[in-house]
C-alpha cells in the first residue's frame, strides 16, 4: 500500500472525505558569484499533505516526517474543527490528458557538467567585456508526486526541471548597469551559449546612455517586460479574487477588456513547460482554458472550493486558482518592424517595484531597471532614472501591435513583444 493510500484509510476513521499527497524532490544547485564558483549543493526532501472534510469543514496538515502518518492525519482532523466550510467533494477518477513533464536526460547531468556550463556562459560575456562582474546559477531537479483521495482517484507523476542563467553588473563611474538572461523548463535541452549571448546583447544595447524626455509615449514591452501587465491579470483572473469581489474583472465575462488583437490562454499541456502537468494538486485533470479571446473575457481560473462557491467547475488550477503556463497569442508584426514604426518611445525589458502599487486594480508605477530609448525607428541607447506608470486594463485597450514570435519567459509563459500606444513615461 502506498503511503497516500494509508493516509486516506486513516483519515476516513473520522472524516467524510480525505485527500493525501506525497512529493519527493532531489536537486543540485551550482552558483557563481563575483566571477567565481561560489557553491555546489545537493538537496532532497519529502513532503506529505493531508486534506480532510469533517462535518462539512476543511482541515489541512503538512509534514516532512514520513514516519508520522498518524500525527499528520490527527492534525488535519483537529484543524477541521476551525476550518472553512467545504463547497466541494473530492473528484472521482477521470481520464488524464497526455503531456511530457519528464526528460531522462536531466538526471544524467552531473555537477561537473553544470560547473562547465556556468563557466562557458560567463566566458561568452567576458569575451564581450571583461569588466562586467558576473554571477551565474544552474539547477537541475527531479520530482515524483503520489496522490490519492477517498473518491477512488489514484495518481502518480514524475517531473524534471533544468534552469540556468547568467547576470552581470557593469560599473561606469556612478552608473551601475545590471543585465542578464536566464531560462528554465523541464528539459535538459537549453542553449546556454544563446542565453549568454542574449545577456551580451542587452549590455551592448546599453553601451550608450541617452536622455529620455517625459510624456505619454509609445512603449514596447519586450517578452520579459510583459510582467508589467501580466501581474494584474494573474490577480484579476484568479477565481478566488473574483468570488471575493476583489477582482475588477468580476462580472465581466463576455465583455471586451482588451484590443481584439489580444488573446491569452492558460495551457498546462505544453510539453516540458514549468507549469505543465496532467493533473493539479487536487487530482483534477489539467485542461486548456482560454481566458481572453480577441479581447473578450471568456473564463476565470478555479480550484475545487472556489468553483463550488462560484457555482461552476474547477478549471484544474488548484490549489489557489493560480496560472499554469500562460500563452499570449502572437500577432503579425515583427519585433524589428515594431521598433522601425516607433518615432519616439521606450523599450522595456525589466522594472523595479512591480507589485508595490495597486496590482489588483491594475495600477502600476515602476522604475525602469533596464530600458532603451527608441528614436526615429532605432534603439539609440539605454535610459536611466525613468519611471513607467499606467493601468493594465487601460493599456490592454491600447495595444497597437503584437510581435509575430513568442518567447519562453521563466519557463511558464510564452509571450511576444507588445506595443502600447501610450503610457506615462516620467524622466527625472
- Give the pLDDT mean for 287-308: 98
Whether 409 and 388 share a structural domain: yes
Quote the pTM value: 0.95
Q: Is residue 199 over pLDDT 70? A: yes
Whether 237 and 264 share a structural domain: yes
Whether 250 and 350 share a structural domain: yes
How many Cβ atoms from other residues are within 10 Å of residue 152's Cβ? Answer: 11
**Whole-Å CA distances, 362 to 163, 248, 250:** 30, 8, 13
Instruction: Please give the mean pLDDT across all residues of the chain.
Output: 97
- Give the pLDDT mean for 263-268: 98
Domains held by the chain: number: 2
Whether 181 and 223 share a structural domain: no
- Domain coverage including residue 86: 3-204
Maximum alpha-carbon separation in the chain: 73
What would the pLDDT profile of 326-383 be if each residue is shown by its tens digit? 999 999 999 999 999 999 999 999 999 988 778 999 999 999 999 999 999 999 999 9
Q: What is the pLDDT of residue 381?
A: 97
The secondary structure element, H or E, covering residue 264 is strand 264-266
- Give the pLDDT mean for 72-98: 97
Q: What is the pLDDT of residue 1?
A: 66
Q: What is the pLDDT of residue 357?
A: 78
3-state secondary structure of 58: strand
What would the pLDDT profile of 106-137 be if each residue is shown by its tens digit? 999 999 999 999 999 999 999 999 999 999 99
What lies within 8 Å, CB to CB, of 245 at 6+ separation is none
Share of the chain above pLDDT 70, in %: 100
**Domain boundary pick from 204, 228, 256:** 204
Q: What is the pLDDT of residue 173?
A: 87
| Cell numbers at 216, concatenated | 505619454
Q: What is the pLDDT of residue 231?
A: 95
| Cell numbers at 252, concatenated | 465581466
Whether 275 and 149 share a structural domain: no
Q: What is the pLDDT of residue 355?
A: 80
**Whole-Å CA distances, 325 to 186, 338, 411:** 13, 26, 8
| Cell numbers at 319, concatenated | 490549489
Paired strand residues for 285: 279
3-state secondary structure of 128: helix
What lies within 8 Å, CB to CB, of 6 at 6+ separation is 69
Binning pLDDT at 50, 70 and 90, where does residue 410 land? confident
- DSSP of 26-51, one letter per residue? EEEEEEEETTEEEEEEEEEEEEEEEE
What lies within 8 Å, CB to CB, of 74 at 6+ separation is none
**Domain boundary pick from 154, 174, 204:** 204
**Side-by-side strand order, sheet with 264-266:** 296-297, 289-293, 264-266, 326-328, 413-415, 407-409
What lies within 8 Å, CB to CB, of 232 at 6+ separation is 359, 360, 361, 362, 364, 392, 393
Q: What is the dihedral of CA 209, 212, 218, 223, to 10 degrees?
A: 30
CATH (domain of 173): 3.30.2290.10
- How far apart are alpha carbons 160 and 410 in whole angstroms? 15
Whether 361 and 239 share a structural domain: yes
| Cell numbers at 375, concatenated | 528614436
What would the pLDDT profile of 398-407 be if each residue is shown by its tens digit? 999 999 999 9
- How far apart are alpha carbons 387 and 57 in whole angstroms? 47
What lies within 8 Å, CB to CB, of 421 at 6+ separation is 218, 398, 399, 400
Whether 224 and 129 share a structural domain: no
Amino acid at each position: 500500500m502506498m503511503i497516500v493510500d494509508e493516509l486516506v484509510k486513516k483519515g476516513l476513521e473520522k472524516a467524510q472525505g480525505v485527500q493525501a499527497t506525497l512529493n519527493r524532490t532531489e536537486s543540485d544547485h551550482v552558483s557563481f558569484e563575483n566571477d567565481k564558483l561560489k557553491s555546489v549543493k545537493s538537496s532532497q526532501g519529502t513532503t506529505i499533505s493531508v486534506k480532510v472534510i469533517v462535518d462539512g469543514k476543511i482541515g489541512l496538515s503538512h509534514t516532512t516526517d514520513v514516519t508520522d502518518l498518524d500525527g499528520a492525519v490527527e492534525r488535519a482532523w483537529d484543524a477541521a474543527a476551525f476550518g472553512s466550510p467545504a463547497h466541494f467533494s473530492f473528484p472521482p477518477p477521470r481520464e488524464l490528458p497526455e503531456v511530457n513533464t519528464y526528460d531522462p536526460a536531466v538526471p544524467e547531468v552531473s555537477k561537473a557538467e553544470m560547473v562547465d556550463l556556468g563557466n562557458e556562459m560567463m566566458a561568452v560575456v567576458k569575451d564581450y567585456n571583461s569588466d562586467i562582474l558576473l554571477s551565474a546559477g544552474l539547477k537541475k531537479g527531479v520530482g515524483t508526486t503520489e496522490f490519492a483521495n477517498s473518491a477512488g482517484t489514484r495518481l502518480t507523476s514524475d517531473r524534471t526541471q533544468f534552469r540556468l542563467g547568467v547576470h552581470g553588473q557593469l560599473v561606469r563611474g556612478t552608473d551601475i548597469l545590471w543585465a542578464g538572461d536566464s531560462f528554465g523548463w523541464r528539459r535538459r535541452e537549453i542553449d546556454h551559449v544563446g542565453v549568454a549571448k542574449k545577456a551580451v546583447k542587452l549590455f551592448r544595447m546599453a553601451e550608450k546612455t541617452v536622455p529620455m524626455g517625459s510624456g505619454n509615449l509609445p512603449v514596447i514591452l519586450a517578452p520579459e517586460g510583459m510582467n508589467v501587465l501580466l501581474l494584474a491579470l494573474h490577480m484579476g483572473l484568479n477565481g478566488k479574487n473574483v468570488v471575493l469581489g476583489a477582482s475588477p474583472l468580476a462580472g465581466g465575462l463576455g465583455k471586451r477588456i482588451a484590443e481584439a488583437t489580444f488573446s491569452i490562454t492558460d495551457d498546462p499541456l505544453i510539453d516540458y513547460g514549468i507549469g505543465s502537468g496532467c493533473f493539479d494538486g487536487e487530482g483534477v485533470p489539467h485542461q486548456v482554458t482560454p481566458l481572453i479571446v480577441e479581447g473578450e473575457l471568456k473564463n476565470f481560473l478555479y480550484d475545487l472550493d472556489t468553483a463550488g462557491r462560484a457555482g461552476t467547475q474547477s478549471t484544474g488550477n488548484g490549489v489557489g486558482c493560480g496560472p499554469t503556463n500562460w500563452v499570449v497569442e502572437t500577432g503579425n508584426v515583427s519585433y524589428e518592424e515594431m521598433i522601425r514604426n516607433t518615432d519616439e518611445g521606450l523599450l522595456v525589458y525589466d522594472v523595479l517595484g512591480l507589485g508595490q502599487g495597486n496590482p489588483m486594480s491594475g495600477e502600476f508605477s515602476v522604475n525602469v531597471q533596464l530600458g532603451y530609448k527608441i528614436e526615429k525607428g532605432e534603439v539609440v541607447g539605454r535610459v536611466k532614472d525613468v519611471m513607467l506608470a499606467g493601468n493594465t486594463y487601460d493599456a490592454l485597450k491600447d495595444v497597437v501591435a503584437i510581435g509575430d514570435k513568442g518567447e519562453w519567459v521563466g519557463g511558464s509563459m510564452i509571450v511576444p513583444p507588445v506595443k502600447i500606444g501610450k503610457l506615462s513615461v516620467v524622466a527625472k
